[in-house]
């Protein structure tokens, strides 16, 4: 396969370039927040995102994919209209629930009362985020990546600019930056990206078809159920970590600081290179689906081969870089030796992390989403068990090594099943 002549190349290149720019902007925003609200404040800020991610998986998880698939099959905009109606209805219900139940969620789910105003603020971003996701699904279905890519970049720019503006205002008034003000940046960014999609979209005649609504719902339901389940487990991981650290003997402030250092400092650094494999994953699913539908097994094999080669090479280079410069990155960027230590430990995951992301997309394109779902569910369950049973006794590093073990297990399982497919067995 000549990658430069393949449609995947252009789309991946656009998403990668804008994705890298977006990640860098968001990355430096995390550095800025770590210096202005501190590690504990960053921990409180990070505690809200599992709830947001869970709601987004419910409101858009399968609907965006359904819009993309049906748009590729039709010439009109009906799938977008129908999918957006479903998504916005779900988003409204979720937003009302989060706003009214924020005190309960903070005290009994997140176990941090200071998260109440943050949950209420982030609930306002849900309709904008869902509308943005629906437009992205439409453009992906049309094989047009420029507008989704730029809207993602715009979202980050507006988010960071608004947070910095809030910081300047508080400084002028003699106040201090807080996680509450930082969360308003999320709302501003999502609002800007959805408004951009609305203003650039060329509306054509379409209608609200109940048959298309039914098709969207039927296609999205199993995908949404699996993503909600996985995000529920992933959210439980994030929420339980501070409690497990407290059980290990840390004070509440120290536990939030360690959690903020891991999720708000170290993880963004390690995940920065995944923008390349993430962009590739978005476009692999329709490409593999098309090749499989045409019976072109040779193209499927070549795509798998090139994907594995790219992920392994990129992953090994990233691991080497994090091992050599991880400690330095933590010290220079965040003034935190603990962040550097986390970056070095997490760096070992890179080759397997890149493989699991891309190979799972290939398996979805081969109509094997149940296999990836069950494997992800198993790994999430094992990590939860580690947090509950081992972190209170042995500390957070045992959880980091469990993350590595689960990524290795998933990558090997995906490679094995794809080898059987590629071998014609």
Across 58-72, 75-89, 155-169, 185-199, least confident range: 58-72
Residue 289 has pLDDT above 80, yes or no: no
Residue 218 has pLDDT above 90, yes or no: no
For residue 202, count CB atoms less than 10 angstroms from its CB and return exposed for 0-12, middle for 13-18, buried for 19 or more. Answer: exposed
Residue 1 has pLDDT above 50, yes or no: no
DSSP H or E run through 410: helix 397-422
For residue 5, name the pLDDT band (cuts at 50, 70, 90). Answer: very low
For residue 4, name the pLDDT band (cuts at 50, 70, 90). Answer: very low
For residue 284, name the pLDDT band (cuts at 50, 70, 90). Answer: low
For residue 56, name the pLDDT band (cuts at 50, 70, 90). Answer: very high
The pLDDT assigned to 144 comes to 79
Residue 419 has pLDDT above 70, yes or no: yes
User: Residue for token digits 């999720």?
Assistant: 263
**Between the ranges 60-69, 103-112, 185-194, where is the mean pLDDT highest?**
185-194
Cα distances (angstroms) measured from residue 284 to each of 140, 168, 292, 324: 11, 43, 12, 32
Residue 61 has pLDDT above 90, yes or no: no
Q: Summarize the confidence of residues 40-68 as an average pLDDT.
A: 88
Q: Summarize the confidence of residues 69-91 as an average pLDDT.
A: 85
User: Residue for token digits 């989060």?
Assistant: 98
**Between the ranges 2-16, 40-54, 91-105, 128-142, where is the mean pLDDT highest?**
91-105
Residue 268 has pLDDT above 60, yes or no: yes
DSSP H or E run through 191: helix 179-200
The pLDDT assigned to 7 comes to 52
Neighbours of 270 (CB within 10 A): 23
Residue 221 has pLDDT above 70, yes or no: yes
Note the pTM of the prediction, 2 decimals: 0.74
Q: Summarize the confidence of residues 389-409 as an average pLDDT.
A: 93
- State pLDDT tens for residues 114-166: 999 999 999 999 999 999 999 998 888 787 778 888 898 899 999 999 999 99
Pick the more confident residue, 148 or 7.
148
Across 88-102, 109-123, 288-302, least confident range: 288-302
The pLDDT assigned to 351 comes to 94
**Between the ranges 72-86, 116-130, 202-216, 280-294, where is the mean pLDDT highest?**
116-130
**Between the ranges 91-100, 165-174, 210-219, where is the mean pLDDT highest?**
91-100
The pLDDT assigned to 73 comes to 72
Buried-exposed string 13-33: b where 16+ CB fall within 10 A, e elsewhere: bbbbebbbbbbebbbebbbbb
Cα distances (angstroms) measured from residue 169 to each of 166, 174, 253: 5, 9, 27
Cα distances (angstroms) measured from residue 282 to each of 9, 72, 93, 154, 214: 12, 15, 28, 19, 25
The pLDDT assigned to 274 comes to 83
Q: Name 319's Cβ contacts closer than 8 Å, sequence gap at least 6.
A: 347, 348, 350, 351
Rounded Cα gap, residues 51 and 320, in angstroms: 34
The pLDDT assigned to 27 comes to 76
For residue 373, how far is the Cα from the chain centroid?
16
Residue 232 has pLDDT above 90, yes or no: no
Q: Of 160, 166, 159, which is closest to residue 181 (Cα–Cα)? A: 166
The pLDDT assigned to 423 comes to 54
Neighbours of 328 (CB within 10 A): 11
With beta carbons less than 8 A apart as the criterion, state whether 366 and 304 touch: no
Rounded Cα gap, residues 45 and 116, in angstroms: 11
Q: Summarize the confidence of residues 213-236 as an average pLDDT.
A: 82
DSSP H or E run through 163: helix 146-172
Pick the more confident residue, 87 or 176.
87
Q: What is the token pair recorded at 33?
A: 């927040």
The pLDDT assigned to 2 comes to 44
The pLDDT assigned to 3 comes to 43
- State pLDDT tens for residues 368-383: 877 888 888 899 889 9
Residue 341 has pLDDT above 60, yes or no: yes
């Amino acid at each position: 396969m000549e990658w430069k002549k393949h449609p995947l190349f252009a789309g991946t290149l656009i998403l990668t370039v804008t994705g890298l720019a977006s990640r860098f902007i968001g990355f430096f925003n995390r550095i800025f927040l770590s210096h202005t609200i501190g590690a504990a404040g960053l921990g409180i800020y990070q505690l809200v995102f599992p709830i947001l991610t869970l709601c987004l998986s419910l409101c858009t998880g399968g609907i965006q994919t359904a819009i993309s698939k049906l748009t590729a099959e039709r010439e009109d905009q009906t799938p977008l209209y129908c999918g957006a109606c479903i998504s916005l209805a779900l988003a409204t219900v979720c937003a009302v629930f989060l706003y009214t139940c924020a005190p309960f969620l903070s005290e009994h789910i997140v176990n941090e009362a200071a998260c109440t105003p943050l949950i209420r603020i982030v609930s306002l971003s849900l309709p904008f985020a869902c509308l943005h996701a629906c437009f992205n699904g439409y453009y992906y279905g049309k094989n047009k990546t420029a507008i989704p890519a730029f809207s993602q970049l715009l979202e980050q720019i507006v988010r960071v600019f608004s947070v910095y503006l809030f910081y300047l205002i508080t400084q002028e008034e003699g106040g201090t930056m807080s996680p509450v003000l930082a969360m308003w940046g999320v709302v501003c960014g999502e609002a800007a990206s959805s408004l951009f999609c609305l203003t650039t979209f060329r509306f054509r005649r379409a209608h609200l078809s109940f048959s298309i609504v039914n098709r969207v719902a039927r296609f999205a339901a199993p995908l949404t159920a699996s993503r909600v389940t996985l995000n529920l487990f992933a959210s439980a991981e994030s929420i339980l970590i501070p409690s497990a650290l407290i059980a290990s003997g840390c004070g509440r402030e120290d536990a939030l600081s360690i959690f903020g250092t891991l999720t708000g400092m170290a993880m963004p650094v390690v995940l920065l290179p995944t923008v390349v494999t993430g962009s590739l994953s978005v476009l692999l699913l329709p490409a593999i689906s098309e090749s499989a539908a045409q019976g072109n097994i040779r193209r499927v094999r070549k795509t798998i081969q090139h994907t594995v080669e790219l992920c392994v090479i990129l992953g090994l280079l990233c691991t080497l870089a994090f091992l050599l410069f991880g400690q330095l990155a933590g010290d220079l960027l965040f003034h935190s030796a603990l962040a550097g230590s986390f970056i070095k430990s997490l760096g070992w995951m890179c080759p397997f992390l890149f493989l699991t992301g891309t190979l799972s997309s290939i398996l979805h394109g081969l109509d094997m989403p149940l296999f990836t779902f069950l494997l992800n569910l198993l790994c999430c369950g094992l990590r939860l068990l580690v947090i509950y049973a081992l972190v209170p006794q042995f500390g957070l590093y045992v959880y980091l090594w469990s993350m590595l073990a689960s990524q290795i297990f998933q990558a090997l399982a995906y490679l094995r099943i794809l080898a059987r497919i590629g071998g014609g067995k």
